[in-house]
Amino acid sequence: MKVFIAVCFLFVYVYSLPTFDATLDSAWALYKRTYEKQYGSNVEESKRRSIWEDHIALIRKHNLEADLGLHTYTMGMNKYGDMTNLEFVKQMNGLRRPSNVSFPAACGKKYVAPSNFKRPDRVDWRTKGYVTPVKDQGDCGSCWAFGTTGALEGQTFAKTQKLIPLSEQNLVDCSGAYGNEGCNGGLTDDAYRYIRDNKGIDTESSYPYEAKDGKCRFTTKDIGATDTGCTDIEQNNESALQDAIATVGPVSIGIDATQSSFQFYKSGVYIEPSCSATNLDHAVLAVGYDTQDTVDYYIVKNSWGTSWGNQGYIWMARNRDNQCGVAAYANYPNV
């Protein structure tokens, strides 16, 4: 009887295992090697392989449709390919608004375009020295800290002509009293208020990024930049956002980055009808704007490393009814 039960259990176990596409064996091995993936058990690896194969199918289908002209952007496999979309969003997207409250215009100062300003057709602050190389937030929901430092790095360069990478870890570890929660999320305007009251933020080289919550180790001798607060850009007003980008420099914005299409974005203008203009969950940096084949887009710097997207960047749709909420929560520091 015991033997019979054991055989039954073995039968159920074997036939409950997922079946994999054998033609993808070498691609799976390459994926694991490329992104240094290691799993604690065969069961865990089987789970991750199954998720990865589903994403392979999703990407292939999308790109075939893109070849037929149904999409303006392509998708590609990346280091997040073995994570479900829910896992990915929970881990990577850390823009947190107060409970039951829409994203606030909390800086207390509102952007006003200069008089007689004529907006240029295209802007790219990377070519002017305002933007540091793409960074990687790792397994930590600290996008809000990277959005903050990116905008402050640009404004500091505008004032001093020195591009100084600033410490996201400083913000993760030290700005909790202002409402931020380190790797569990935060807001850029709260981070600007911390920097103002703290009278500075340390340089990245003196306070390097660790992708985890830690004890505050800020020191005044290592300050790389300061601010006197921040300025809000009128909510849901893309004209104001574009004017601010053109006249001020890189601007921190909040977006909806919950879609699988965003998780695997590779190139082209990201037009995603399923995006929300109100449910924002990710902070990024708008460093310019342009047009490709009559399709307008923002040049957006992400904080997921250069292996994601277009060398770490994404072209977000512009002038399409505030798609993905690009203008719902935008601000920059006063320097």
Token output for 73: 């952007």
How far is it, in rounded angstroms, from Cα 296 to Cα 277?
17
Whether the CB-CB separation of 324 and 317 falls below 8 Å is answered with: yes
Q: Choosing from 170, 230, 282, 331, which is the catalytic residue?
A: 282
CA-to-CA separations, 125 to 15, 129, 266, 286, in angstroms, rounded: 56, 7, 21, 9
Q: Label residues 131-143 b or e (16+ Cβ within 10 Å = b).
A: bbebbbbbebbbb
10-residue averages of pLDDT along the chain (335 residues): 51 59 95 96 96 98 98 97 94 75 81 96 98 97 97 98 98 96 95 98 98 98 98 97 98 97 98 94 97 97 97 98 96 98
Active-site residue, 282 included? yes
φ, ψ of residue 70 to 5 degrees: the values are -85, -15
Q: Choosing from 180, 302, 322, 331, which is the catalytic residue?
A: 302
pTM of the model: 0.92
Q: Choosing from 143, 174, 275, 324, which is the catalytic residue?
A: 143
Cα dihedral: 309, 314, 315, 320 (round 10): 110
CA-to-CA separations, 27 to 51, 53, 212, 284, in angstroms, rounded: 14, 10, 31, 31
How far is it, in rounded angstroms, from Cα 96 to Cα 175?
14
Whether the CB-CB separation of 95 and 143 falls below 8 Å is answered with: yes
pLDDT of residue 101: 58
pLDDT of residue 106: 85
SS3 content of the chain, % helix, strand, coil (to 5): 40, 20, 45
pLDDT of residue 3: 54
pLDDT of residue 12: 45
pLDDT of residue 226: 98
At 226, the amino acid letter reads T
pLDDT of residue 17: 59
Whether the CB-CB separation of 230 and 331 falls below 8 Å is answered with: yes
* Residue bearing tokens 């002509």: 161
Active-site residue, 71 included? no
Active-site residue, 302 included? yes
